[in-house]
Amino acid sequence: MRVLTVAADRPGAYPTIGSALLEAPDGATVAIAAGTYAETLELSGRSVTLQAEAGGAVVLDGAGADWPTLRAVDGELTLRGLDIRAGDNLAVSVERTALTVEQCEVRSKSRPAISVHASPAFTVDRCTVSGAETGIVVEGASGRILDTTVSDVAGDGIVVALGSDPLIRGCTVTGCGGRGIYVYQYSRPELTDTAVSRTGTDGIGVAHGSTATIRRVTVEDTRGHGIAFTPGCGGTVEGCRTENTGLAGIHLPEGATVEVIEKASARPTETDGPLDQLLGDLDEMVGLPGVKAEVHALVDEIQVNEWRRAAGLSVGAVSHHLIFAGAPGTGKTTVARLYGKLLKALGVLPHGEFTEVSRRDLVGQYIGHTAEKTATVFEKSLGGVLFIDEAYTLSRSAGSGGDFGQEAIDALVKLMEDHRDEIAIIVAGYTTEMNDFLDANPGLASRFSKTIEFENYSAPELLLITDRMVAAGDYLLDADAAGPLTAYYDQIAHTPNFGNAREARRLVESIRKAQSQRLRSLGRMPTTEELRSLLAADVLSAAGPQKVADPVLPR
């Protein structure tokens, strides 16, 4: 990983952040010395980290500009330890960018301090956001806001919109002219262990078809309701406390489907923390009993080794590299992401970030180019998980371009040896082809500690996956649809190129299209219930009559 140093008065360093970014390759880290930098930065298609050097504050000051202090589009951006300031514009604005903001102070005046739009993932962790029109705006994105304070903003503290589903945990939202947290436009956030206070209207507002899970949240000193839902919204309010609110503590109008549970479930303890939460996420996945057992066993072994090391006992060398073997659509990528988070929670890897690549990301166009590309991808993934999908295409037996693929394999073997404790590599593909892949280099098989087999989903498991996909899209699957769905999955389960969960996702999209055609033919505006309902007829239309033989529908 390339590190570029910025220091205005240090010989050999870059004088400005902008000048360093002009020469920084993708994946580079820009380390910034203490000082105030009157700059605004715009990044497009870049992957960089901007972080403060230890000792002293780093201020990125865009107060005099008419555009965002820091804007990123179509890339990856990590910010650590910075004080980011804006005047009459946004401080941090990202679109279609994987954003991480850690231990930063972010301030604005008349616009949002942090805006995340249509991004694949984001994390705002241990930050302070203040003085803005709106503290944090999340639109069409999934991510986390953790242990962050939002204070003294003119409007809403945190806004969650356009179907976003972030986790907001351990935060403090106080001193807002509007609402503390506002959820709307069919969003589905989870709010836990958070305190909201001193708001000009409601403490937490949920509107426009949204569903919110609110657990162990304290709301006090509001001029409006403590927690307010509008008709058509749903969710859970569990173990929350409201005090000194201008209107009702919890407002549930007719048409809102909200479960209120007075007593909170237990807070995480030392043995029930992030590690157990991640294992819980694994256990909630459909099917995969063998995979779950293998991952639990790996976690147990790593945990016990850490305890032995702390006790001064000997610990054998453990490789964290794995082979995931099985057909497409069986959850290999999802489990690989969780595995990285588990290794971070165990202290094995510093950040557990996930990088997914395939043959084209590693193999070059001429001898020597491949080793360079492979090394770049590898170094960018240090500290996290490198997931190589369809890894067997790198071996000589895969066909054309085999020599270049072999060069990538040979480079990987050397890099895995040199950095054995700094990364976890997971290679994935069909079982038979992965055996051929391991034969491509004599040292390759010994680098991987275990092969985990991912079996195809059964028809009942695919039906459950379908139910979850449908619910996530705010639809309801009619009970009569279970018969034709199960018949469809039974018939295609053994066909060539069966896609498992990918097939379920494709089918759900086709069912939605069939529903749209059916509703358009009604000649009137459908009811809300009709808009949400997917019927057996929609399944039959999507699957095709040749795929579902004589389904028996209940009368």
Provide the domain limits for residue 299: 274-454
Q: How far is CA 511 from CA 31, 150, 498, in A?
A: 51, 42, 18
CATH of the domain at 474: 1.10.8.60
Residues 172, 197: Cα–Cα separation, whole Å: 8
Which of 454, 487, 520 delimits the end of a domain?
Answer: 454
Which of 266, 296, 317 delimits the end of a domain?
Answer: 266
Contact criterion met (CB below 8 Å) for 494 and 468:
no
Residues 57, 89: Cα–Cα separation, whole Å: 22
Q: Tell whether 472 and 369 lie within a shared domain.
A: no
Q: Residue 521 above 50 pLDDT? A: yes
Residue 405 has a pLDDT of 74
Contact criterion met (CB below 8 Å) for 99 and 74:
no
Which of 266, 292, 327 delimits the end of a domain?
Answer: 266
- Tell me the mean pLDDT in the region 433-457: 81
- Tell me the residue type at 109: K
Q: How far is CA 380 from CA 32, 287, 299, 404, 423, in A?
A: 20, 33, 25, 21, 10
Q: Output the DSSP codes for 169-223.
A: ES-EEEEESS-SEEE-SS---EEES-EEEEESS-SEEE-TT-EEEEES-EEEEES
Q: In what order do the strands lie in the sheet with 190-192?
A: 3-6, 28-32, 47-52, 76-80, 98-102, 122-125, 143-146, 167-169, 190-192, 211-215, 234-238, 257-261
Q: Tell whether 496 and 449 lie within a shared domain.
A: no
Residue 500: pLDDT band with limits 50, 70, 90: confident
Encoded tokens for 116: 């995340």
Q: Residue 246 above 70 pLDDT? A: yes
Q: Residue 299 above 50 pLDDT? A: yes
- Tell me the mean pLDDT in the region 385-407: 70
Residue 555: pLDDT band with limits 50, 70, 90: very low
**Domains held by the chain: number:** 3
Q: Residue 407 above 70 pLDDT? A: yes
Top-confidence residue, 283 or 200: 200
Residue 263 has a pLDDT of 56
Please classify residue 55 by burial: count the beta carbons closer than 10 Å to its beta carbon, then call 0-12 exposed, 13-18 middle and 19+ buried. Answer: exposed
Q: Tell whether 364 and 444 lie within a shared domain.
A: yes
Top-confidence residue, 247 or 447: 247
Q: Residue 488 above 60 pLDDT? A: yes
Q: If you count them, how many residues does the chain have?
A: 555
Residue 403: pLDDT band with limits 50, 70, 90: low
- Tell me the residue type at 327: A
Residue 16: pLDDT band with limits 50, 70, 90: very high
Residues 322, 428: Cα–Cα separation, whole Å: 9
End-to-end CA distance of the chain: 65
Encoded tokens for 475: 């639809």
Arithmetic mean of pLDDT over the chain: 86
Residues 441, 409: Cα–Cα separation, whole Å: 7
Whether 192 is covered by a domain: the verdict is yes
